[in-house]
Amino acid sequence: MTLPDLLAPIGEASATTWLRPLTSAGPNDGDDNKDAGGTESGTATKTRPKTKRPNLYRVLLLNDDYTPMEFVILVLQDVFNKSREDAMRIMLHVHQKGVGECGIYPYEVAETKVTRVMDTARKNQHPLQCVMEKQ
C-alpha cells in the first residue's frame, strides 16, 4: 500500500458538509419572505445565512520500521495530550495501517504540534514522521 492510498480516505470533506439545512437556519430563521410584521409575503425562496468554513488541519502520524512503540506512545501523550490508552490505540493503528490521525486543529496549533513531534524525533534519532493536511 502506498502513502497516497493510505491518505485517500482522509481527503477533502464535501462542501455540502458546511451548508446549513434550509429548514433549520437558527435564531434568524433565514426566511427572507416575511415583511416587517413577520407575515409571509412574496415568492417562496429561502436564503442560507453565510457560514464560514473553519480552516482546520488534520495532524497525521506515519509508520516506520524503526521508531520504538513506546516512544510513539510518549509523543502522543506529551504533544497531543492523549491518555495512555488512547495513545496506545493510535500508535497501534498507525503501526498496522501505516498512518493515523492524532487530532484536528487550527493551522498554527497543528503546525506547532508537527514541529514538536519532528523535533523530538530528530533529537532522539528516530525516523518518525508527522504531517498535517487541510481538512
Residues that bind ligand TYC (CB under 6 A): 61-65, 67-69, 72, 91, 94-95, 128
Three-state secondary structure call for residue 31: coil
Closest distance of CB 25 from ligand TYC, Å: 43
Backbone angles phi, psi at 128, to 5 degrees: -50, 135
Toward ligand TYC, which CB reaches closer, 73 or 105?
73
Closest distance of CB 31 from ligand TYC, Å: 50
- Per DSSP, 127 falls in state -
Toward ligand TYC, which CB reaches closer, 106 or 127?
127
Q: Which residue has the cell 442560507?
A: 48
- What is the distance between the alpha carbons of residues 17 and 81, in angstroms, rounded to a whole number? 28
Closest distance of CB 92 from ligand TYC, Å: 8
* Cβ proximity of 90 and 82 under 8 Å: yes
Bridge partners (DSSP) listed for residue 59: 103, 132
* Cβ proximity of 60 and 130 under 8 Å: yes
Closest distance of CB 106 from ligand TYC, Å: 23
